[in-house]
Structure 1
Amino acid sequence: MDEIAGEVGVRPSLLWLFFTDYPLFKRVLWGPVTAYQYRLMGPGKWEGARGAIFTQFDRMLQPLKTRKLEPEEASVAGRLIKLSLTVMAGGAAVYYIHLRHPTAIPTLLSNLRPQKV
């Protein structure tokens, strides 16, 4: 596309953009290639091309926002499910340790003594 744009005279000059409009230079150089870039200069120049380049991601994401997301409080059922999964994972870990080393858990429990203050 750059070759055709160069022949027509609408290819954006990155050197000119670097010295005159550095934020736009960064968007053109490192951003996605869009048709708006070829409307910055030359025949068919459009004054709204700069704004369109800076807002292209907003326009892309807008259709994907189908509902308004609000922060939700965790429900009691959700908390109980998380608690039960945590207890099950802990139980599975203890069972696995007990199968591999049958004396490990009783040894650890016998070493636990109340501390005196």
Structure 2
Amino acid sequence: MNWTMYFGQVALLGVFRSMMAQAGPRGPVASATFTVVRLTNDQILENATGIGTPPASWPRSELVVDLLHKAVYGFTTAAVADALAARNGPGPGQRHAAVHADHRSDVGPLPHKDTYGR
């Protein structure tokens, strides 16, 4: 049951990270954000199913190994997703951000023809 849950969640979260990269969030900040999502998802599932215990109750050595493992997974998955998404050019979020790099509040959404939608 534990392995099924593990492989299922990493597959689904890999798809989630791919969607992030296709939409625009890429790079180290997006990778760190995804790593937090991976850690959060893991703890919710493990504690909800009774397979795991809260990290505060773990021995420090196990906690360090788990965090390192999740970080390696998060950043590796992100690197692959970012590289694959980069083949399609910038995502809608990146194109929108490029309209005005100074983050002005009066910039509306991209025209529909400039997004990935139909």
TM bracket (short chain): under 0.3
Which structure has more relative contact order (CA 8 Å, sep 6+)? It is: 2
What TM-score does the superposition give when structure 1 sets the normalisation length? Answer: 0.22
Could you say which structure has the larger radius of gyration?
A: 1
Name the structure with the higher helix share.
Answer: 2
